[in-house]
Homo-oligomer: A and B are copies of this chain.
Amino acid sequence: MKIPNPYYISDYKLPLIEYFVFGLSVDCVVFGYHEGEIKVLLIQREAEPYRGHWALIGDLVEPEQNLHDASNNVLEKLTGLKNIFMKQFFTFGSLDRHPLGRVVTVGYFSLVKSISYHPIASSWAKSAEWFNINDLPELAFDHHTILLKGIETLKNEVRHKPIGFELLPSKFTLLDLQLLYEALLGYKFDKSNFRKKILEMNILKPLNEVKDNVSHRPAKLFKFDEKRYRQLEKEGFSFEL
């Protein structure tokens, strides 16, 4: 759709102002992990366009809002989730991606620690649900493209940066961690070697607790030692798996 009537800012009257007519949005690919499966959070739209379709969590950016805030706000507004790891990954600007005009969208991906509670749909979201990334519904706009790019980015990042921990609860066992990475990367690790490698990195803090209520030897719990990681990173260490 062609947008008429260029908009002028009176003080400057520069020709460049005629292009101040874009729409801008953010869309968040929210990843979760549960029992060996990578999930993504989608909402069902209760607003036009694409009312009733499943979509990524996103909305138009307000004129006085910066991008990172916008992505956090929209996530909270539509699902109630707060203080979530979030990272910009790509900006999508095809001419025809929005039926109402030229809207460019900045893609973020987020990782949430626990998907065991159900997110609360609010604002114009009719419902919010976790979907397995291998079993997705049809999506609004170009959200399928955005989602695929998000998955690709996650799979790349996860090997070079310790962001995987964002998907686990703060206390986890080494097997939890191993199963997560196996799900993310799509291949198996040797148990002994995986433990050796991750422990030698010195970025896990062992807790004096064990996971109980299990009918076998209980596993020790660990947490990610972020302070230590930052320190090691400064000294030239780089996470690789």
Q: Which residues of A contact B (CB under 8 A)?
A: 1-3, 5, 7, 9, 12, 14, 16-17, 19-24, 47-48, 60-67, 88, 90-91, 93-95, 100-104, 106
In contact, A48 and B88 (Cβ under 8 angstroms): no
In contact, B95 and A64 (Cβ under 8 angstroms): yes
Residues of B near A23 (CB, < 8 A) are 16, 19-20, 22
A24 contact from B63, B88, B94, B104, Cβ within 8 A: B104
Q: Would you mind naming 28 contact pairs between A and B with Cβ atoms under 8 Å apart? A: A2-B63, A2-B64, A3-B63, A5-B7, A7-B7, A7-B21, A9-B100, A12-B48, A12-B100, A14-B47, A14-B48, A14-B100, A16-B100, A17-B101, A19-B60, A20-B101, A20-B103, A21-B22, A21-B63, A24-B24, A24-B93, A63-B102, A65-B95, A66-B94, A67-B104, A88-B90, A91-B91, A91-B106
Residues of B near A101 (CB, < 8 A) are 9, 17, 20
Chain B nearest CB from A241 CB (Å) reads: 14
In contact, B88 and A106 (Cβ under 8 angstroms): no
Residues of B near A19 (CB, < 8 A) are 23-24, 60-63
Chain B nearest CB from A93 CB (Å) reads: 4
Q: Smallest CB-CB separation from A5: which chain B residue?
A: B7
Given contacts A3-B9, A14-B100, A17-B100, 18 further A-B contacts (CB under 8 A): A9-B100, A12-B48, A12-B100, A16-B60, A17-B101, A19-B61, A19-B63, A20-B101, A21-B21, A21-B22, A22-B22, A22-B24, A22-B61, A22-B63, A66-B93, A67-B93, A93-B106, A104-B106
Residues of B near A24 (CB, < 8 A) are 19, 22, 24, 93, 104
Q: Smallest CB-CB separation from A97: which chain B residue?
A: B66
In the assembled complex, the Cα of A103 lies from the Cα of B101 at a distance in Å of 18
Chain B nearest CB from A108 CB (Å) reads: 10
Residues of B near A104 (CB, < 8 A) are 22, 24, 67, 104, 106
Query: 8 nearest interchain CB pairs?
Result: A67-B93, A20-B23, A91-B91, A19-B60, A22-B24, A22-B22, A91-B106, A16-B60
